[in-house]
């Protein structure tokens, strides 16, 4: 995967402006403060009057200001100014750019990428010298998501034209800065701003649930509107899959989001599609665990444990009804259908997909206050089935603690549920908590003495506990032998260099020796006695 990345440690928050502003000309009023430039969201400035202004004729007014600022900030080498360009789509002069230091390569950050910059900002007008109102040059770098409205429009537009390592000046007219409102008290209304920005790098947008960079997105074409698909949406996409720069798949696919395994859509791509908009075209980079994992995809020529990428375009989708939009009857129907689908996926060995289906039962019914009395038993039965089936999936996936939790939920509704007791016991035994597991299996045997599997599980637990006790006893014996050797060494040290007790300290040292020896013997006897008690209590019926 090739993309620029930020090498330095970055602050987690998006507030990038210095808390203490370094003004060249401070007001007497010490209240001249300003929040983060990177956290000041542009107000969309819908004024037609502002949008119709053409600033091309005004650019010459700032030439002298630019030159003076470049001179003030120059180092030993003369800065390289390539050209002044208008980067606004309408070529109105709303954002003018001059490159001070060219960047590396040909790539620029895209919409949604996480960029990292240093900046200095000045207020501009036709009368006075530019006044610096903020800089983070001496502080942490500023990090924000490009194109998300987290900064002024001029920044979103300007930084998207920069390359890694580039330093540039931007003149932002009011409609691309803070407009008719300004940002009191620091920025007056209708004030153009000048920024010097250095782009250190960027990271692709991380869509993975755990933010482990396992699912990264590079947006090539922004989608339409703001609506995104949800779990259960009917979606149609065009995709091209790449492994080692070779195409392994090029097709259109129509499927239900969340059940993409039916058409060989990996888990990570489905997760990413939840963040797509209509007509969006993006590249999705998947780490192996979010792609085809340890199994690979031999039919596609993909070996196990390899990373892949997809170029994806969302052609259409129809959102599924949200749970809060459903009536009680619709929730029951959704829960029943999810149970059937989950069983089908479980039998096919798709445990993760089955788990998603069983979760729908909980989503629909766990907090359903409007269930009529005559349907309460059905609701309870479906919920218990959901918990139990989820426990089975967790056991298959080796998520034992999660299995214990859902079994606890099932037992709250039905304290004598045999499957819940058995599966909780299995999960605890898999975590080597055999004493707790034994309790579950013994309760199960008391409820149903003819349950042979439970009786066998009791025997297995008892054997494991017995073996552990023997192992512990062996450890304690070895410890005792070690203590004896240490004690003998102490005794030798109590003797004089001639090998006899000193008369004045003979009794004292003998007493210390006997006390230490007696203490060690008593401790070992107690340990052995406790081990025997544990063994007897665990094997008793």
Q: Which of 119, 144, 183, 346 is catalytic?
A: 119
Distance CA 244, CA 237 (A): 22
- As to burial, measured by CB atoms within 10 angstroms (0-12 exposed, 13-18 middle, 19+ buried), residue 378 is middle
pLDDT of residue 163: 96
197 and 251 belong to one structural domain: no
191 and 223 belong to one structural domain: no
Residues 239, 249 contacting (CB under 8 angstroms):
yes
Residues 269, 312 contacting (CB under 8 angstroms):
yes
Q: Which of 69, 87, 99, 152 is catalytic?
A: 152
168 and 220 belong to one structural domain: no
The residue out of 286, 318, 350 marking a domain boundary is: 318
Boundaries of domain holding 535: 458-539
Q: Is residue 494 one of the residues assigned to a domain?
A: yes
The CATH number linked to 229 is 3.10.50.40
Q: Which of 144, 170, 176, 178 is catalytic?
A: 178
Distance CA 452, CA 455 (A): 5
Mean pLDDT by 10 residues, the chain (541 residues): 36 38 35 35 33 46 52 50 82 94 93 94 81 88 92 95 96 94 90 95 94 95 94 97 95 95 94 97 96 93 95 97 91 94 94 95 84 74 96 96 97 96 96 92 94 92 86 70 69 58 54 62 59 43 43
Residues 300, 247 contacting (CB under 8 angstroms):
no
Q: Is residue 7 one of the residues assigned to a domain?
A: no
295 and 313 belong to one structural domain: yes
Among positive and negative, which fits the CA dihedral 132, 133, 138, 144?
negative
pLDDT of residue 137: 87
Q: Is residue 471 one of the residues assigned to a domain?
A: yes
Q: Which of 65, 113, 134, 440 is catalytic?
A: 134
Distance CA 229, CA 265 (A): 16
Catalytic status, residue 200: no
335 and 429 belong to one structural domain: yes
Beta strands in 55-192 (DSSP E): 84-86, 95-101, 114-123, 131-135, 142-145, 167-172
412 and 353 belong to one structural domain: yes
The residue out of 157, 175, 203 marking a domain boundary is: 203
The CATH number linked to 377 is 1.25.40.10
Closest CA to 44 of 194, 220, 192, 181: 181
189 and 222 belong to one structural domain: no
Closest CA to 36 of 162, 166, 133, 161: 133
Q: Is residue 480 one of the residues assigned to a domain?
A: yes
293 and 308 belong to one structural domain: yes
Residues 430, 461 contacting (CB under 8 angstroms):
no
288 and 344 belong to one structural domain: no
Catalytic status, residue 152: yes
As for how many domains the chain has, the answer is: 4
Q: Is residue 520 one of the residues assigned to a domain?
A: yes
Catalytic status, residue 178: yes
306 and 327 belong to one structural domain: no
Q: Is residue 39 one of the residues assigned to a domain?
A: no
92 and 125 belong to one structural domain: yes
Q: Is residue 508 one of the residues assigned to a domain?
A: yes
338 and 410 belong to one structural domain: yes
Q: Around Cβ 185, how many Cβ atoms within 10 Å?
A: 12
pTM of the model: 0.68
The residue out of 299, 318, 337 marking a domain boundary is: 318
pLDDT of residue 125: 76
Q: Is residue 155 one of the residues assigned to a domain?
A: yes
Q: Which of 195, 351, 358, 400 is catalytic?
A: 195
pLDDT of residue 397: 95
């Amino acid at each position: 995967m090739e993309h620029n990345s930020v090498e330095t440690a970055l602050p987690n928050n998006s507030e990038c402006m210095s808390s203490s502003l370094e003004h060249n000309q401070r007001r007497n009023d010490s209240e001249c403060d300003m929040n983060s430039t990177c956290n000041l969201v542009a107000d969309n400035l819908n004024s037609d009057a502002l949008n119709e202004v053409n600033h091309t004729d005004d650019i010459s007014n700032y030439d002298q200001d630019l030159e003076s600022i470049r001179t003030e900030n120059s180092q030993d080498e003369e800065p390289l100014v390539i050209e002044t360009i208008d980067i606004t789509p309408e070529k109105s002069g709303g954002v003018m750019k001059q490159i001070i230091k060219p960047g590396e390569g040909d790539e620029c950050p895209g919409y949604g990428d996480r960029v990292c910059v240093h900046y200095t900002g000045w207020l501009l007008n036709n009368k006075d010298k530019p006044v610096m109102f903020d800089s983070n040059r001496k502080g942490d770098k500023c990090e924000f998501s490009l194109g998300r409205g987290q900064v002024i429009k001029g920044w979103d537009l300007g930084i998207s034209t920069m390359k890694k390592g580039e330093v540039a000046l931007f003149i932002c007219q009011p409609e691309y800065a803070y407009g008719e409102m300004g940002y009191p008290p620091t920025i007056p209304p209708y004030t153009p701003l000048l920024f010097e920005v250095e782009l250190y790098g960027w990271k692709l947008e991380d869509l993975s649930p755990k933010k482990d960079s396992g699912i990264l997105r590079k947006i090539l074409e922004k989608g339409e509107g703001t609506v995104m698909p949800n779990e259960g949406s009917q979606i149609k996409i065009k995709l091209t899959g790449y492994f080692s720069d070779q195409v392994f798949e090029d097709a259109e696919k129509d499927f239900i989001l969340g059940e993409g395994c039916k058409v060989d859509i990996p888990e990570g791509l489905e997760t990413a599609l939840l963040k797509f908009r209509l007509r969006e075209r993006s590249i999705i980079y998947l780490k192996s665990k979010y792609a085809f994992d340890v199994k690979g995809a031999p039919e596609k020529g993909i070996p196990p444990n390899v990373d892949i990428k997809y170029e994806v375009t969302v052609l259409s989708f129809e959102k599924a009804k949200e749970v809060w939009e459903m009536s009680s009857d619709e929730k029951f129907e959704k829960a029943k259908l999810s149970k059937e689908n989950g069983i089908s996926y479980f039998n096919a060995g798709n445990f993760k997909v089955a788990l998603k289906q069983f979760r729908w039962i909980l989503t629909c019914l766990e907090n359903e206050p409007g269930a009529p009395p005559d349907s309460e038993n059905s609701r309870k039965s479906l919920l218990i089935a959901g918990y139990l089936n989820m426990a089975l999936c967790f056991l298959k996936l080796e998520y034992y603690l999660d299995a214990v939790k859902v079994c606890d939920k099932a037992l709250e509704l039905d304290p004598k549920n045999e499957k819940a007791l058995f599966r909780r016991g299995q999960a605890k035994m898999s975590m080597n908590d055999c004493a707790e597991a034994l309790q579950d299996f013994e309760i199960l045997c008391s409820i149903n003495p003819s349950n042979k599997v439970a009786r066998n599980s009791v025997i297995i637990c008892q054997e494991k506990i017995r073996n552990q006790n023997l192992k512990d006893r062996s450890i304690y014996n070895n410890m005792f032998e070690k203590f004896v050797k240490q004690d003998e060494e102490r005794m030798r040290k109590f003797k004089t260099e001639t090998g006899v007790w000193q008369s004045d300290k003979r009794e004292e040292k003998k007493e210390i020796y006997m006390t230490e020896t007696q203490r060690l013997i008593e401790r070992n006897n107690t340990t052995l006695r406790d081990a025997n008690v544990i063994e007897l209590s665990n094997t008793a019926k």
